[in-house]
Amino acid sequence: MFQAIKTPNRPFLFVFFCFLSLSLFATEPGTRIKECSLLDPGVPADFFFSRALREQVDGFQAAQRRKPEDSKLSFERSVSFLDSYHLCLKEVGKEPSALSAETQSLNYLELGSLDKAWEWSEVARSKSPEVSKDQILLQTRIRIRQGELAKASDVLESSLHKFPNDPDFLYLLGNINFERKLWNQSILYYTALSFVIERRDTHSKYKFLTAKALGELNYKLDHPKIAIKRYQEYTAFYKNDMEVLFRLAQIYFVLVDFKHCRLYLEQIREKNPRDIDASHMLGEIYFMDARESAPTYFATLKKEKKIPKEGIIYLLDRFLNGSTTGLEVKLKTYIQDNPGRLSPRIALLELADKEKLSDYDALNSETAQYAYEYRQYLTAEKILRRGLSRIKTKENAEEERSLFWEKISSCQEMLGQWNHSVMATKEAITLTNETEKSFRLRFRLAYLYLQGNLKKESLSVSILSETIQENPSPTHYYLRGLAYFQLEKYKESASDFTEAITLDPKNPNYYFYRATAYDKLKQFGDTEADLKTTITLNPNASNAMNYLGYLYAEKDINPEDASKLLNQAVSLEPDNPAYQDSLGWVLYRKKDYNRALLHLNFAASLALERGFEDPVIYEHLGDVYLAKKDPVNALQFFKLSESKLKSETSKDLVAKIKKVQKEISE
């Protein structure tokens, strides 16, 4: 993943000839002054600098021609000339310049003398009135070559607010953090880079590399639909990247979109007929999802000589051909050696059903559980319904049927089928006579009424109120508190969270949600106290840190505490747009406008990547630009905020828009 930084471009030849002209036309014969003990009279010290630059250029050119020995010799000569130049400066009481120190640092970097390279890079920075982009990238290269990726990241991050839209900085930060396996940090920078590319640099050399990186990162962080979008941007240009095509197939498999999964696997087979992995994965998908077409496909594999003499494809082929002798033992052995594979479990379950094996019920439950864990919810539901249909008149049949309906409800919930999930849960409730199980199922029903597009908070409250009378559990008070909150009954909500805390005083979630209710009731002292308790009970409670830090910023109090809290929240979840927005807002209140813009742009780009646009973030961006006396950009973001509001535009935002429009027209 990691790619080396290219050498910064500089006008070496131009500088060389300028210094050469100084040496040729310095003074007339007879009046020449000896400037340095190492040089003849009349020859300026800059002669050594010009020779050093020339040798450095020769070193890079030799490296490009793949002549390492010549390259090394040129860099060594450049070091020697610069040593002489610095000695000449010392004789007249001068110190190395930023340019000569940077040049020497670059020489030592190319020679692999990394400690000396760093020392000279520090000299270069100390001699510069303002640190340049080249100096920062040079120090980043040194840290990378030293294997100090964390320090390389620190070099870039410390100056990022000065170069917030620089593609090189953002790409390197994304790349370095990817190598460090800091996925959330990496996605922050790659997302910001994508934002820059789309708006400022549409022909960027990083465009497709960024799309691929974002595909991989969103896949790792369980954002499969965004991963697909980014991978498809990449494959639109790089059509033959088999690794990415296979990853797309894997994602669609996880999403239970077997149609698109097969499409990408067929593409791989077409582009690379010798590919085995795609051919075998496609065989498993045909077996699980398109059984009527599976025999034809397996016949094709046999013709292509892609059915081995052992393994899962061999076993599935035997099952399809009806060759079941000894197959049960072979499938069980394979499952024991490969517990993560679903297709052999399905084959074994169907074999148990067909052969009327005694362990069918256990296999049904186990296979459904594995299908559920691998997100194959439709498959899991299908297996469970088959098992449900076999339960007849055996002892405790109703309790077993109740358990099946509960599991089916869970599958439907994960598929977003809220009404079906509610009906399945109700069926489970009617079938059970176990008190604890009934409480659990009623809690689940109350929970479902708060989800998706159901929004039946009153029904949820009613179920929980009845349950609480019988079983005053802290989780039931907690859920009813959430229901009351959604109904905007904040006093009742706070009261229920208090009851939950009384029963379970060590649960940080109860304090956090009571704080949100107190905030709605304008009880700042209670809100602050509960948020602090949440953080005490859970030192990683980033939601509480963000909430409290933002409240401090809004009230313009405790600025240092606000900054500390929000920096902690961002360090825990760097790719959370709400946290980046809060930190940007605190920095705005501290009048640190460049850093505020950096974090607010992070927030805007992350929100876009997740598929939404937050009007609050845009309004904050407008506020910062207004403070920076940039009314054009301020108006752009105020208007953008107004366009994304779902409710009526606030009076404050309307006033800001009118003010900026007036300022621009004057």
**For residue range 91-107, what is the model confidence (pLDDT) as tens digits?**
999 999 999 999 999 99
Residue 567 CB-density burial (10 A; 0-12 exposed, 13-18 middle, 19+ buried): middle
Is the predicted pLDDT of residue 4 greater than 60, yes or no? no
Look at residue 178 in the predicted model and tell me its pLDDT.
Answer: 97
| Helices 435-448 and 418-431: angle between axes, nearest 10 degrees | 160
- Going by C-alpha positions, the residue among 206, 199, 252 that lies closest to residue 233 is 206
Contact of 196 with 170, CB cutoff 8 Å: yes
Percent of the chain past pLDDT 70, that is, above it, reads 95
Contact of 173 with 583, CB cutoff 8 Å: no
- Going by C-alpha positions, the residue among 265, 261, 319, 260 that lies closest to residue 287 is 319
Provide the 3-class DSSP secondary structure of residue 256: coil
As a whole number of angstroms, the distance between CA 512 and CA 527 comes to 9
Tell me: the pLDDT tens digits for 262-314?
Answer: 999 999 999 999 999 999 999 999 999 999 999 999 999 999 999 999 999 99
DSSP assignments along 85-144, one per residue: HHHHHHHTT----HHHHHHHHHHHHHHT-HHHHHHHHHHHHHT-SS--HHHHHHHHHHHH
**Arithmetic mean of pLDDT over the chain:** 92
Tell me: the pLDDT tens digits for 396-432?
Answer: 789 999 999 999 999 999 999 999 999 999 999 999 9
As a whole number of angstroms, the distance between CA 50 and CA 21 comes to 10
What the block records as the tokens of 70 is 């010549």
As a whole number of angstroms, the distance between CA 140 and CA 122 comes to 12
Look at residue 1 in the predicted model and tell me its pLDDT.
Answer: 55
Mean pLDDT, range 519-525, rounded to an integer: 97
- Going by C-alpha positions, the residue among 92, 174, 177, 106 that lies closest to residue 137 is 106
Is the predicted pLDDT of residue 391 greater than 60, yes or no? yes
Contacts of 300 (CB under 8 A, 6+ apart): none
DSSP assignments along 264-305, one per residue: HHHHHHHH-TT-SHHHHHHHHHHHHH-TTTHHHHHHHHHHTT
As a whole number of angstroms, the distance between CA 67 and CA 580 comes to 48
Look at residue 394 in the predicted model and tell me its pLDDT.
Answer: 63
Provide the 3-class DSSP secondary structure of residue 84: helix
- Going by C-alpha positions, the residue among 478, 609, 482 that lies closest to residue 186 is 609
Q: How confident is the model at residue 24 (pLDDT cuts 50, 70, 90)?
A: very low
Look at residue 12 in the predicted model and tell me its pLDDT.
Answer: 42
Of 2-6, 55-59, 92-96, 463-467, which gets the smallest average pLDDT?
2-6
Helix (H) or strand (E) holding 584: helix 577-589
- Classify residue 3 by its DSSP letter: -
Higher pLDDT, 256 or 251: 251
Helices (H) and strands (E) in the chain, counts: 35, 0
Contact of 515 with 530, CB cutoff 8 Å: yes
Look at residue 19 in the predicted model and tell me its pLDDT.
Answer: 45
Residue 521 CB-density burial (10 A; 0-12 exposed, 13-18 middle, 19+ buried): middle
Look at residue 390 in the predicted model and tell me its pLDDT.
Answer: 86
Tell me: the pLDDT tens digits for 620-632?
Answer: 999 999 999 999 9
Tell me: the pLDDT tens digits for 213-225?
Answer: 999 999 999 999 9
Contacts of 180 (CB under 8 A, 6+ apart): 149, 150, 153, 186
Tell me: the pLDDT tens digits for 40-77?
Answer: 988 999 999 999 999 999 999 999 999 999 999 999 99
State whether the Cα torsion 535-539-541-544 is positive or negative: positive
Is the predicted pLDDT of residue 22 greater than 80, yes or no? no
Contacts of 513 (CB under 8 A, 6+ apart): 478, 481, 482, 485, 493, 497
Q: How confident is the model at residue 514 (pLDDT cuts 50, 70, 90)?
A: very high
Q: How confident is the model at residue 454 (pLDDT cuts 50, 70, 90)?
A: confident
Is the predicted pLDDT of residue 31 greater than 70, yes or no? no
Q: How confident is the model at residue 122 (pLDDT cuts 50, 70, 90)?
A: very high
- The pTM for the full model equals 0.87
Look at residue 28 in the predicted model and tell me its pLDDT.
Answer: 53
Could you count the other beta carbons within 10 Å of the beta carbon of residue 473? Answer: 18
Q: What secondary structure, in 3-state letters, does 417-472 show?
A: CHHHHHHHHHHHHHHCCCHHHHHHHHHHHHHHCCCCCCCCHHHHHHHHHHHHHHCC
